[in-house]
Amino acid sequence: MDKPQLLAKANPPTWLKILVISLMGLGIFFRFAHLGQKTYCCDESWTSVAISGNTVAELKQEVSHHQGTIPITTFDKYQHINSDRGVADTVNYLITSDPQHPPLYYVMVRLWAQVFGDSPIGVRSLSALISLLIFPSIYWLCLELFDSPVVGWVAMALIAVSPLQFFFAQEARQYSLWMVEILVSSAALLRAIRQENKGNSAVYTLTLALGLYTHLFTVLVMIAHGIYVVIQQQFRFTKTLFNYLLVTIAAFLMLLPWLIVLITHLSTALELTSEFAIRRIDNPFELIAIFLIRVTRTFFDLNLTLDTLVFNSLAVEGSLFSSITTLIFSLFVIIFLIWFLVKVPPNNTSLLIFLLGGFPSLLLVIYDLIFGGTRSLKVRYQLPLYLSIEIIVAYVLAFYIFPEQTWRQKIAQFIIVGLLIVGLVSDVKFFQSENWWTQSDGQFIKETSQVINQSERPLLVINNSPVNLGGILTLSHYLPKVRLLPIADSELLPIPQEYSQIFFMQNNSSLFHQLKQDKSYHLKVIKVLNLPPGGLWQFEKVDKL
């Protein structure tokens, strides 16, 4: 079997470059096409609240202070930029209402929206543009890891057609930016180790700081980097290890202002993230199976996961046939990669990519297995793993494709063509879809807006819980004429006579139970979510004979 050094000497053939450039062109098209077609989900609506400069407290006060019905357009100001409020107000929103999210992306999207508009298309276009930086970032990391442009070109081909990349490129959240920073910081680490000087150390420090100010899970990436440095230095306290510690400390010192914010508002952050502890899968093998199935979705994804807000069983991942097929594929990939590593030991730098993907991912899985929850099943938390797998697969395929003509080369060529084809099929499916399974509330929002828009005189009852308000903010993009009745859960209010159809998105209020007992209204259960008390219920006034 060829040695890895032979791969480094191979020059990418012209056909490979033409293929990858063509795929990148398609990738750019899919990233920017139909930016406004997908449902603007609840998380994205909170992004709009952030850039508006308002706070959740003000939004709740808006609901509490109104008497009687109000138009849903009342909440428009929370979805658009307020000229009287600036970037400082966006940061204030994060401090008081969403402290677990650092401010870098939200400041960027606020400035971006001031120029390109605050519509869903305008806001999402920043993520689409940032996602293009993944191409040079992954190429640079492959050069640092394997000293091989061939691996870099193959990795860019896989990234170009990855359906997971398209989803985050069209979501008004920080995850495209975080992926770029994961790749760039890892490449900067290898460069700083290979060429120890102040310039490289400064670049690595900056990338870590930017990563921390984008997503706090960058801490897990930093720990993976630290483990790599310790192993690479053979567990000796060398100058390289000392420099790494200095850089890490410097990055944390730069994050210190936001750490103070997080500690000060820790109760708010815990309240907003507690849902992942509530959602749990009792069977550990089922959790692991779902985890493995989702690994494959970085390569192909036909949006087969059932419409649900809580992924608490293997059944919601799709049909039994598709689940078994993807599970077998995932296991095959893992077994083959282990066999490959036994046969072809990676070079010293290659260890980093395994730690980068493995450490954060296994930590989340182990935490869920011990303490319960479904954090490990959130695709946005597993981005270091998905990026690492694409790089490792690119390395293995490039290893076999070049340079000799063997039966292994034919198999590798067949596999890469297959991966590119299923990736493109997934991309077309994504292009045509209005909702994607990763936006678990998208289908529910779409169905709710369709049902209410078909009603002649609808009234939607709301409360000031964050979950309910998030849904209302999202619905405001699709229900321009509906009127709302704000109530407290324990409050009983008379229903205005002019409304014949009353809708609830939660079934735990006193008014809901009152109408349920009222013989003059007929209850219709439209949808019940497996995240109580959410769903959609309709009370229709019964015509008296």
**Domain annotation covers residue 241:** yes
**Domain annotation covers residue 53:** no
DSSP string, 117-182: -SSHHHHHHHHHHHHTTHHHHHHHHHHHHHS-HHHHHHHHHHHHH-HHHHHHHTSSSSHHHHHHHH
Over pLDDT 70: what percentage of the chain? Answer: 94
CA angle in degrees (0–180, nearest 5) for 264-276-388 = 95
User: Pairing mode, if any, of strands 483-486 and 458-462?
Assistant: parallel
**Domain annotation covers residue 69:** no
Give me the residue label for tokens 């049902």.
451
Number of domains in the chain: 1
Beta strands (DSSP E) in 62-103 are 70-71
Q: Are 167 and 430 in contact (CB under 8 A)?
A: yes
Q: Is the dihedral of CA 45, 48, 52, 54 positive or negative?
A: positive
Question: 486: which strand partners?
Answer: 462
What is the per-residue pLDDT for 545? 46
**Domain annotation covers residue 25:** no
Angle between helices 175-194 and 134-146 in degrees, nearest 10: 30
**Domain annotation covers residue 243:** yes
Query: What φ, ψ does residue 5 adopt, rounded to 5°?
Result: -65, -30
Cα distance between residue 445 and residue 226, in whole Å: 43
**Domain annotation covers residue 299:** yes
What one-character DSSP code corresponds to residue 216?
T
pLDDT tens by residue, 246-292:
999 999 999 999 999 999 999 988 888 766 555 667 788 888 999 99
CA angle in degrees (0–180, nearest 5) for 60-72-69 = 80
What is the per-residue pLDDT for 60? 87
Q: Are 165 and 155 in contact (CB under 8 A)?
A: no
Cα distance between residue 505 and residue 130, in whole Å: 35
Instruction: Give the count of beta carbons closer than 10 Å to the beta carbon of residue 65.
Output: 8
Domain that holds residue 254: 99-433
What is the per-residue pLDDT for 415? 86
**Domain annotation covers residue 270:** yes
Total residues found in the chain within this entry: 545
Cα distance between residue 298 and residue 158, in whole Å: 9
- Predicted TM-score (pTM) of the model is 0.93
Cα distance between residue 176 and residue 256, in whole Å: 24
What is the per-residue pLDDT for 230? 95
Cα 505–chain centre separation: 25
Q: Are 262 and 269 in contact (CB under 8 A)?
A: yes
Ramachandran assignment for 300, one of left (phi > 0), alpha (psi -120 to 50 degrees), beta (any other): beta
**Domain annotation covers residue 470:** no
Per-residue buried b or exposed e for 320-339, using 16+ beta carbons within 10 Å of the residue's own CB: eeebeebbebbeebeeebee
The CA-atom distances, in angstroms, between 78 and each of 90, 302, 420, 533 are: 12, 34, 41, 25
Q: Which residues of the chain fall short of a pLDDT of 70?
A: 1-10, 274-280, 306-312, 345-347, 402-405, 543-545
Cα distance between residue 119 and residue 81, in whole Å: 10
Beta strands (DSSP E) in 433-520 are 458-462, 483-486, 501-506
